[in-house]
Copies of this chain bind each other. A is one copy, B any other.
Amino acid sequence: MAHSGERFVIVSNRSPVSFSRSESGEREYSRGAGGLVTALNAVVRRSEGSVWVASATTEEDAKVSREPAPYEVEDLRVTLVEHAPEAYDLMYNRIANPLLWFVQHGLYDLPYSPLFGEDTRRAWEEGYLTVNRNFAEVAAHTAESERASVVLLHDYQLYMTPLFLRERLGRGVLISFFLHIPWPGPEEWRILPGYMRRGILESLLAADVLAFHTHRYARNFMDTVSEVLGAETSVGEGVVRYDGREVWVRAYPISIDPAEFEELSQSEAVLKEEEFVKGLPGRLLLRVDRMDLSKNIVRGFAAYGRMLELHPEMREQVTFLAQLQPSRQNVPEYAAYAEAIEQAVEEVNERHGTDSWHPVELSMQDNFPRSVAAYKNYDALLVNAVRDGMNLVAKEAAVANEKDGVLVLSETAGAHEELGEHALTVNPFDVDEQAEALYQALTMPAEERRQRAQALRKTVESNTIEDWVEAQLKDIVAYRDHR
């Protein structure tokens, strides 16, 4: 793949590298993992001299942020941004993770929550806006000193950065904004206080290219700015006209690096975990999720229990391995959800289990090698999210799997736009439908399994993370030529 020739500034809240001090007082670092970081690493590979701007979150990060920037680590050039701790806390723990995440995934129990008030406005103004101004300031400075041509902003912690960045940089530098979570329709955006709703939309329209994982989110975005701001939209062209400017709205479904998973599959750690995974009785039903309210974990166990009830011949013929990573356990809704998960598992195991067989094998620890070992060996994978920006588990697993495993996939996961036709589609709220799909997946004839699994793998391999980057760069160049 050719080098793009562009110089980028990438901005994300999460840093690709985290610094600390060793006991002997030396600076150490660790590279981050996770979908976003992997994806943006692919952008960095495409553009020599790019700089990645991200939040300082450790004490040593803060020290790095005060040294001359960018700081070089292996192939990365990183500029860390130090935020006032209170402002960062308000942005992260009051606005981004509870409020925006809940609205965009449809998680509120609206008759009772949310309860917005002056504290919400304060968290917005003193937290979210402050952090975003900070990001914009550092990104603008970096773009200028590096003579970068493009600033790539990432995700819902940074909604207000396009506006502040545009004020600072004018029109010389191209701004793209990529959203990694779902964009719901206008009706759901009405939940937000007006100042926040309009603020976010006006800011996003200060960018040049707005990018989403699916065409549906892109369309929902256009419906939202049309309804709330009265912006002129052309869904067919993917264009919003507002304030005398043209903004392109595009879908680039994020992906993975298949080579990375092939390599990982053969690693010592994974091979070792395979012993455990292969020791589980019967066929392997798998789910791998962060313990988030959006992942629909409780209904998944209910569906499995229902399958065992409807098809008692499946007892002792299958084990449901649930690899769940704990998440946000200091948030009451999440702690309650973790309890509901444990209770749902207990119900299934007590009702259907025997001395020699646990219907559900629950792991509530972060164990990535075991997840990859399970990817290789599942007969059926359950991804039944209430709503999910993309869901990379479905893609990682499709590439790593060696058993012609069948994917049971929620129609409201972003991945459904690409993978749906080769998966068994389920409505996330229909427990009996999920039960039937699990049964069908676990009893499907070998030839159909093979065809579906191959089609899934091929689909993922035909749009890798490199293709994802390529498509965006192409449009950025086209946008500049067009303008």
Contacts and interface: CB of A to CB of B under 8 A. Distances in A.
Contacts of A185: 184-188, 220, 223
Contact of A411 (B106, B190, B337, B430): B190
Interface string A8-29: 0000000000000000000000
A111 B293 contact: yes
A294 B114 contact: no
A111 B294 CA distance: 6
Interface stretch (A69-77, A261-269, A296-304): A296-304
Contacts of A194: 411, 427
A188 B190 contact: no
Find the residue from A190, A227, A294, A412 having the highest chain B CB count within 10 A. Answer: A190
A117 B430 contact: yes
B111 A107 contact: yes
Contacts of A340: 112
Contacts of A111: 107, 293-294, 296, 298, 337, 386
A340 B184 CA distance: 30
Given A107-B111, A110-B107, A223-B185, A116 B193 contact: no
Given A185-B187, A186-B185, A190-B411, A110 B115 contact: no
Nearest to A296: B111
Contacts of A433: 116-117, 193
A431 interface: yes
Contact of A430 (B106, B193, B227): B193
A306 interface: yes
Given A111-B386, A112-B298, A191 B117 contact: no
A187 B220 contact: yes
A237 interface: no
A217 to B, nearest CB: 10
A187 B190 contact: no
A120 to B, nearest CB: 7
Contacts of A350: none
A6 interface: no
B115 A191 contact: no
B429 A191 contact: yes
A109 interface: yes
B116 A430 contact: yes
Contacts of A106: 110, 187-188
A115 to B, nearest CB: 5
Interface residues of A, number: 47
A216 B227 CA distance: 9
A306 to B, nearest CB: 7
A470 interface: no
A412 B115 contact: no
A432 interface: yes
Contacts of A184: 185, 187
A365 to B, nearest CB: 22
Interface string A176-191: 0000000011111011
Nearest to A436: B118
A206 to B, nearest CB: 24
A117 B294 CA distance: 20
B427 A193 contact: yes
A240 B78 CA distance: 52
Contact of A427 (B116, B219, B411, B412): B116
A117 B431 contact: yes
Find the residue from A110, A112, A114, A220 having the highest chain B CB count within 10 A. Answer: A110
Interface in A100-141: 106-112, 114-118, 120-121
Contacts of A427: 116, 192-194
A431 B293 contact: no
Contacts of A386: 110-111
A429 B187 contact: no
Interface in A165-213: 184-188, 190-194
Nearest to A223: B223
A311 to B, nearest CB: 14
A189 to B, nearest CB: 10
Given A185-B223, A411-B190, A412-B190, A429 B116 contact: yes
A186 B188 CA distance: 11
22 contacts: A108-B109, A110-B386, A110-B429, A111-B294, A111-B296, A112-B298, A112-B340, A115-B431, A116-B430, A116-B431, A117-B430, A120-B430, A121-B432, A185-B185, A185-B188, A187-B187, A188-B188, A190-B411, A191-B429, A193-B427, A193-B433, A219-B227
